[in-house]
């Protein structure tokens, strides 16, 4: 699948989330995994040829892990959402997500964006990394591609 088409579908899923869920879920202050799951539900309808999994932590026969570019340490990861075709094999991975209830200037957000950059540049075969920052008035999406400058959009 072309990255541009994947981005269009992701934006569509986020817009559905905004319309159906954001206000009510933020009003009761749910945990981030609830937000991830709701977005994952909408992604599932838009990517019928792929698996959409939350907190997916497997790579081949072991844990999904990356080498931290700053420390050189191996870290086990559990991304908020992944879009992929072959569970466990990591040969046809498409998108890896991190989602936060925070704005773009938050320390947590900057940490998550660095994590996604590390994921995309690791040997996990993801074509696109996506950070989604969810606030009451705005949703920030940052597209992260290997060897490209990050691009931010606001919905």
CB half-sphere exposure, 57, CA atoms < 13 A = 6
Domain of 142, in residue numbers: 3-154
* pTM, entire model: 0.92
**pLDDT one-digit tens code per residue, 44-100:** 999 999 999 999 888 777 788 888 777 888 888 899 999 998 776 666 789 999 999
Q: Work out the number of other CB atoms within 10 angstroms of the CB of residue 136.
A: 10
Cβ proximity of 130 and 145 under 8 Å: no
**Domain count along the chain:** 1
CATH code, 15 = 3.90.1570
Nearest Cα to Cα of residue 79 among 99, 62, 60, 103: 99
**pLDDT one-digit tens code per residue, 73-87:** 888 889 999 999 877
């Amino acid at each position: 699948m072309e990255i541009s088409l994947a981005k269009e579908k992701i934006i569509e899923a986020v817009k559905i989330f905004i319309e159906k869920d954001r206000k009510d879920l933020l009003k009761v202050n749910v945990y981030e995994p609830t937000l991830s799951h709701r977005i994952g539900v909408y992604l599932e309808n838009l990517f019928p040829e792929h698996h959409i999994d939350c907190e997916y932590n497997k790579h081949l026969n072991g844990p999904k892990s990356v080498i931290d570019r700053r420390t050189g340490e191996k870290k086990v990861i559990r991304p908020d959402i992944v879009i992929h075709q072959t569970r466990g094999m990591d040969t046809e991975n498409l998108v890896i997500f991190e989602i936060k209830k925070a704005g773009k200037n938050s320390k947590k957000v900057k940490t998550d964006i660095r994590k996604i950059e590390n994921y995309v540049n690791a040997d996990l075969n993801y074509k696109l990394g996506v950070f989604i920052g969810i606030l009451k008035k705005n949703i920030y999406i940052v597209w992260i591609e290997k060897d490209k400058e990050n691009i931010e959009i606001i919905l």
